[in-house]
Amino acid sequence: MNASRRLTRRQFVSSGAVVVGASFLPASTSKGAVDQDPAVDAIATKGESKKRERVPWKVEPFPLNQVRLLDGPFKHSMDINHQWVLSLPTDRLLHTFRINAGLPSSAQPLGGWEKPDCELRGHLAGGHYLSACALAYAATGDEAMKAKGDEMVAELAQCQEKLSNGYLSAFPDEFFDRLRDGKPVWAPFYTIHKIMAGHLDMYAYCGNEQALDTAQKMAGWVGHWCEGLSDAHMQRVLTVEHGGMLESLYNLYALSGRGMYPFIGNRFTHREVFDPLADHRDELKGLHANTNIPKMIGAARRYELTGNERDRDIAQYFWDEVTSERCYSTGGTSNGEHWNTDPGKLASELGKETEECCCGYNMLKLTRHIFGWTADPRAMDYYERTLWNSRLGTQDEQGHKSYFLPLGSGFWKSYNSQWDSFWCCTGTGIEEFAKFADNIYFHDDDGIFVNLFIASEVNWPEKGVRLRQETSFPEQDRTTLTVSAPKPVELAVNIRVPYWATKGGTVKTNGEALPVFSNPSSYLALKRTWKDGDRVEVSLPMSLHLDSMPDDRSLQTVMYGPLVLAGKFGGEGLTPELTYPGYGPVPKGGPATVPDITNHSMDPLAWVEPAPNSPLTFQTARQLAAATLIPLYKLSGERYAVYWKVKSDRPRRFES
C-alpha cells in the first residue's frame, strides 16, 4: 500500500475534497527540476542552493522575511520570546566554549543543561541560540537580533580556530572517544548537530558567510571522525541520540554545493530505524521519540536533494503512522519521552510526562516537508492542531518554556527557570516561537495558499501583491483577507477549510456572498483577477466536538474548532518550585483529583455547554461538581484536565 494514500484514522482525516466553483489544488507546478530550497529559503535569493534540489515541492512556503505577524496571540508570544532571547548575555553563552578552547573567560557560567559539567553543554548556547537569532531576524527584521547572532558566530569561530582541527563544541572531543568505544556519554553528536544547524541558519537567514565556513570546518571534522569507523561500528554509534546530523549535512551540501557532505551525511543513516519504516512496519514501540523524529527530517532532505524515493516513503509512512496512531488530541506525541505501546494504544499513556515539547517542534518541521510535497490539507489540519494546542501555550509571560505538556488529569504546566534549566525544549522553544510566521502561507505558480488563521501579512513581490489577513481568531470564527496590488493580478487564493469546519461556512468577496464553499479538509480556491483593495471575508463556524482515545472511547477530550479545551482545577499549592523545577524537567508533586463525568443523555456532548457571555469558555453540565473549560493554550498557573473519563448512565441497548 502506498503510504501517501493511506488515510489516517483519527480526526485529522477527511478524505473528500470537493470544491465548488473553482479549481482545486493544481496537479503540479510547472517549475521543472529546479526548486527553492525550502529548508533554507531566505538564502534562495542567492540562487546557488536552488540548483541542487532534485525534487520540486508542489507548493512552497514563503520565505520567512516576507511574512509579518500582526497583533494576536502568536505575535504576543513571539515578542515575549524575542525579549528572552535578547536577554541572554553573550559572554555567559560563550563561557564553556571558551574554556573548552583554552581561551580566557571570566563570565558567570550558565546553569542547567549548560552547566560546565553537563555533558550536553553548548547545545543551546552555541546551537539553538543561533537558530533563534536567525529566525527572529528573518521574522521581524530586528537588527539587534542579527547583531547578537553575528557576534556569537564571530566568537565561536575564534574558539574553533584555537582548537585548530575544525572541532567546535563546549565539551572536549574526548566525549567522542567514549562514544566510539561504547562507553557512557550523553549525546555528543546531538549537540554537534545543534551547533551546525545554528550556523547554517545564520548563513541562510542572515547571510553570515563566516557561519557557513564554521559549519564546513565542523563537517570536515565529523567526516574525519567517521572515516575510521566500519559501517557496523557506525551503526552502533547511531544507537546514541544524534539529532539531525543527516539533515544538517544534506543542508550543508545544498548551501555549499560540496559533494563530500552527502557522503558524510549518509554515515548517519540509522538502518535499524529506517528499514522497518521502509517496509511499512511500525516498530516504534520502545523507542525514544525525539531521538527519531529528526532522523525522518533527514530522510526528507535526502529525498529532496537526491530524488531517492525510499527516503520519501520512510518519512511519509512515519508521518502517517505517528499522526494517526501515536498522537494525542493535542497533536503531540510521546510519554516519558518514549513510544511505549503498540500503535493506537494511548489510553495508558496519560501522565505527568505526556508529551515532550521537542516532539511537537520536530513533527511540525517534518509536516512542512510533507505538505510541500503533497499540498495535502490533512497535513495542515495536523499542523494547526499541534501549533495551537502543543506549541503556543508552552511559554509563560516571561519567555520560559515547558518541557512536558502533561495530559494526565490534575497536573499543571511547568517551565524552565531563567538560569538553571536550558533544556532541549527550551532550545527548540526559542526557535519555534521565533518562526510562528512560517507556513501560514504557501504558494505555487498560480496562487497563494492561506493555511492558518493567524493575523499576518504576506508580501509576494514576484506577483506584485500583498495579502493582509486580519482576524481575532479564535475569539471570532472568521478572517478577512485584503489585497494590495498596484496593478490587477490574476491569482488563485486557496483558503484552507479545516477538518473541524463541519458546519460549513461562508465566503464573501467585496461584501458579496459567493454561492460556493468547500468540504472540511480541503482548499476553497477563489480564482480571479484581483484589484487593489479587494476583500475576502471567510466565516468558519466553530463547534464543540469530542476526540476520544482510540483504545478507550470513554476517555474524551472536548474540542472547539481546532482548540483542545482544558478543565480548570485551580492553582492551590502550586509553589514556584513546582512551576519552575530547575535542572530536571519533572516537577515534584502529584495530581489533583479530577471527577469523572457522567453523561445522562444520548447526545455524547450533553455534558458540556458554552458558559454564558464568555467567549471560548465552557462548563460541564448536569454534573455533581461543576468545572469550567477554556482553551488549553490559554491555561497557565493551575491544574487542569484534558482527557475526561466519561461514564454513561444511558440504557445500554441504546448505545451505538
Q: Which residues bind Zn ion (CB under 5 A)?
A: 358, 424-425
Measured from the CB of residue 422, what is the shortest distance to Zn ion in angstroms?
Answer: 11
- Cell triple for residue 416? 524552565
Measured from the CB of residue 429, what is the shortest distance to Zn ion in angstroms?
Answer: 8
Q: How many whole angstroms separate alpha carbon 549 and alpha carbon 561?
A: 18
Measured from the CB of residue 34, what is the shortest distance to Zn ion in angstroms?
Answer: 36
Q: Phi and psi at residue 188, in whole multiples of 5°?
A: -65, -40
Nearer to Zn ion, 353 or 381 (CB): 353
**Count of alpha carbons within 13 Å of 313, Cβ hemisphere only?**
14
Nearer to Zn ion, 432 or 470 (CB): 432
C-beta nearest to Zn ion: residue: 358
- Cell triple for residue 201? 541558519
Measured from the CB of residue 45, what is the shortest distance to Zn ion in angstroms?
Answer: 32
Nearer to Zn ion, 216 or 291 (CB): 291
Nearest Cα residue to 456 out of 474, 438, 444, 443: 438
Measured from the CB of residue 351, what is the shortest distance to Zn ion in angstroms?
Answer: 16
- CA-to-CA separations, 640 to 309, 328, 405, 622, 630, in angstroms, rounded: 44, 16, 11, 20, 10
Q: How many whole angstroms separate alpha carbon 367 and alpha carbon 365?
A: 5
Measured from the CB of residue 366, what is the shortest distance to Zn ion in angstroms?
Answer: 16
Given a contact cutoff of 8 angstroms between Cβ atoms, the answer to whether 135 and 205 are in contact is: yes
Nearer to Zn ion, 425 or 437 (CB): 425
Nearest Cα residue to 306 out of 55, 4, 41: 55
Nearer to Zn ion, 11 or 421 (CB): 421
Strand order in the sheet with 441-443: 60-61, 441-443, 447-450, 489-497, 522-530
- Beta strands 628-631 and 563-568, pairing class: antiparallel
Residue type for 386, please?
T
> Roughly how many angstroms between the first and final C-alpha of the chain, as a whole number?
31
Measured from the CB of residue 426, what is the shortest distance to Zn ion in angstroms?
Answer: 8
Nearer to Zn ion, 17 or 425 (CB): 425
Measured from the CB of residue 403, what is the shortest distance to Zn ion in angstroms?
Answer: 6
Strand order in the sheet with 456-460: 67-69, 456-460, 465-470, 478-484, 535-539, 506-509, 512-513
Nearer to Zn ion, 366 or 538 (CB): 366
- Cell triple for residue 647? 461514564
Nearer to Zn ion, 311 or 431 (CB): 431
Measured from the CB of residue 550, what is the shortest distance to Zn ion in angstroms?
Answer: 25
Given a contact cutoff of 8 angstroms between Cβ atoms, the answer to whether 153 and 202 are in contact is: yes
Q: How many whole angstroms separate alpha carbon 24 and alpha carbon 32?
A: 21
- CA-to-CA separations, 465 to 26, 29, 457, 458, 484, in angstroms, rounded: 20, 19, 11, 9, 6
Nearer to Zn ion, 241 or 384 (CB): 241
Angle between helices 424-432 and 129-140 (to 10 degrees): 10
Measured from the CB of residue 424, what is the shortest distance to Zn ion in angstroms?
Answer: 3
Nearer to Zn ion, 425 or 485 (CB): 425
Measured from the CB of residue 116, what is the shortest distance to Zn ion in angstroms?
Answer: 21
Q: What is the DSSP string of 150-212?
A: HHHHHHHHHHHHHH-SS---SS-THHHHHHHTT---S-HHHHHHHHHHHHHHHHHHH--HHHH
Nearer to Zn ion, 78 or 289 (CB): 289
Nearer to Zn ion, 130 or 425 (CB): 425
Given a contact cutoff of 8 angstroms between Cβ atoms, the answer to whether 419 and 407 are in contact is: no
Measured from the CB of residue 124, what is the shortest distance to Zn ion in angstroms?
Answer: 11
